[in-house]
């Protein structure tokens, strides 16, 4: 374990970045070792290269295996201006657009950032790299560092607070572990209690064991997708006159998606990749439609109205 992260590493570091692949390109072995030690401590899967040639071989292999690096962290001052060779390589290979690029630059070296912007450089880090700044940079490029909500919402609310100032027990069903961890991090930063599931079957099993107030449901999952799980949830609710809000998550933001999700029995729709503002606003909108919670309510609140009855009928027709 590294000695210090300026002071102390954050809680649950390996949970935060579990299985997230990072390619580290740095010619200085000592710096590589320092960054590798911290990155692995946080749970990142690190692959190292000390030159542009070695990095491009690794990237070629990753493309062939369809195992893309989520982050490419590279020194801006590789010998022979090789950092620009890598930038050109990334620019010429559209598949690598799935990676975010983080540049490290010594504070004494001034480099024109214009070429970086053209290939989508996400952030710059000063060298020597501080662990806290490195982690902050990774959180930022992954969209895991919430912006103060007072800048995004009227009324000057407290940073990190939900628009309606409520914290909920949330179940998130998402088969991509990295995406699930990102979403859980966003939600927990806003005070919610979050449980993860990898598919619809796991989501249904979790709901039998625990009472949730909200479900975030990916529509495309193995074993049982989000639509199938939602139909089963709504079918069971018809026997109890209960209703738990379900927000659909999909990577395919197309016209008519929201309407289709509503027809399947879901309450709302959110496109991936998630961002904090959109996520918090969607949750607030959905939860505001529920009746006020009773003082002794310790379970998910039941609700049944004409709109939900219509959604149930549509769901039955689709079965």
pLDDT digits (tens, 9 = 90+) for 185-199: 889 888 999 999 999
Beta bridge partners of 247: 216, 268
- The pLDDT of residue 10: 43
What range does the domain containing 104 cover? 13-141
Question: Are both 122 and 43 inside the same structural domain?
Answer: yes
Q: What is the pTM of this model?
A: 0.51
Would you say residue 2 lies in a domain?
no
- The pLDDT of residue 96: 66
Question: Are both 173 and 313 inside the same structural domain?
Answer: yes
Question: Are both 136 and 218 inside the same structural domain?
Answer: no
- The pLDDT of residue 206: 94
pLDDT digits (tens, 9 = 90+) for 13-30: 555 677 789 999 999 998
- The pLDDT of residue 25: 94
Question: Are both 233 and 213 inside the same structural domain?
Answer: yes
Contact 197, 173 (CB under 8 A): yes
Domain termination residue (choose one: 83, 112, 141): 141
Would you say residue 3 lies in a domain?
no
Would you say residue 8 lies in a domain?
no
Question: Are both 195 and 132 inside the same structural domain?
Answer: no
- The pLDDT of residue 15: 57
Domain termination residue (choose one: 97, 118, 141): 141
Domain termination residue (choose one: 141, 176, 201): 141
Would you say residue 5 lies in a domain?
no
% of the chain residues with pLDDT over 90: 24
The CATH number given to whatever domain includes residue 218 is 3.40.50.2300
pLDDT digits (tens, 9 = 90+) for 164-181: 458 899 999 999 887 888
* Average of per-residue pLDDT across 108-113: 49
Least confident of 56-65, 89-98, 125-134, 307-316: 307-316
Confidence of residue 300 (pLDDT cuts 50, 70, 90): very low
Q: Is the pLDDT of residue 266 over 50?
A: yes
**Cα distance between residue 77 and residue 20, in whole Å:** 25
- The pLDDT of residue 256: 65
Question: Are both 127 and 176 inside the same structural domain?
Answer: no
Would you say residue 92 lies in a domain?
yes
Counting the structural domains of the chain, the total is 2
Would you say residue 298 lies in a domain?
yes
**Cα distance between residue 281 and residue 170, in whole Å:** 15
Would you say residue 176 lies in a domain?
yes
Residues in the chain: 319
* Average of per-residue pLDDT across 209-224: 93
Higher pLDDT: 217 or 271? It is 217
Question: Are both 300 and 238 inside the same structural domain?
Answer: yes
Question: Are both 27 and 103 inside the same structural domain?
Answer: yes
For residue 225, how many C-alpha atoms fall within 13 Å in the half-sphere facing its CB? 8
Tokens 């039941």 sit on residue: 302
**Cα distance between residue 23 and residue 71, in whole Å:** 6
Question: Are both 40 and 154 inside the same structural domain?
Answer: no
Q: Is the pLDDT of residue 122 over 90?
A: no
Higher pLDDT: 292 or 238? It is 238
């Amino acid at each position: 374990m590294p000695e210090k992260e300026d002071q102390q590493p954050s809680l649950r570091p390996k949970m935060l970045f579990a299985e997230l692949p990072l390619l580290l390109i740095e010619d200085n072995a000592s710096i590589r070792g320092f960054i590798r030690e911290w990155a692995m401590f946080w749970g990142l899967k690190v692959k190292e290269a000390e030159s542009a040639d070695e990095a491009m071989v690794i990237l070629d292999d990753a493309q062939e295996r369809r195992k893309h690096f989520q982050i490419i962290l590279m020194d801006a001052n590789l010998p022979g201006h090789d950092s620009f060779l890598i930038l050109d390589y990334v620019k010429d290979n559209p598949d690598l657009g799935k990676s975010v690029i983080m540049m490290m630059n010594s504070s004494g070296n001034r480099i024109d950032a214009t070429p970086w912007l053209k290939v989508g450089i996400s952030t710059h880090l000063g060298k020597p790299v501080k662990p806290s700044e490195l982690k902050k940079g990774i959180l930022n490029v992954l969209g895991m560092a919430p912006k103060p909500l007072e800048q995004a919402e009227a009324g000057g609310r407290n940073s990190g607070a939900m628009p309606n100032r409520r914290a909920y027990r949330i179940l998130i069903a998402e088969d991509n572990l990295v995406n699930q961890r990102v979403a859980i991090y966003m939600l927990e930063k806003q005070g919610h209690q979050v449980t993860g599931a990898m598919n619809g079957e796991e989501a249904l099993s979790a709901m039998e064991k625990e009472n949730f107030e909200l479900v975030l449901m990916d529509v495309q999952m193995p074993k049982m997708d989000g639509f199938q799980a939602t139909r089963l949830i709504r079918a069971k609710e018809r026997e109890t006159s209960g209703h738990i809000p379900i927000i659909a998550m999909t990577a395919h933001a197309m016209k008519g998606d929201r309407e289709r999700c509503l027809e399947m029995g879901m309450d709302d729709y959110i496109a991936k990749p998630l961002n904090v503002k959109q996520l918090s606003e969607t949750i607030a909108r959905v939860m505001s439609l529920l009746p006020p919670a009773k003082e002794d309510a310790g379970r998910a609140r039941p609700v049944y109205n004409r709109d939900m009855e219509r959604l149930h009928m549509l769901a039955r027709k689709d079965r």
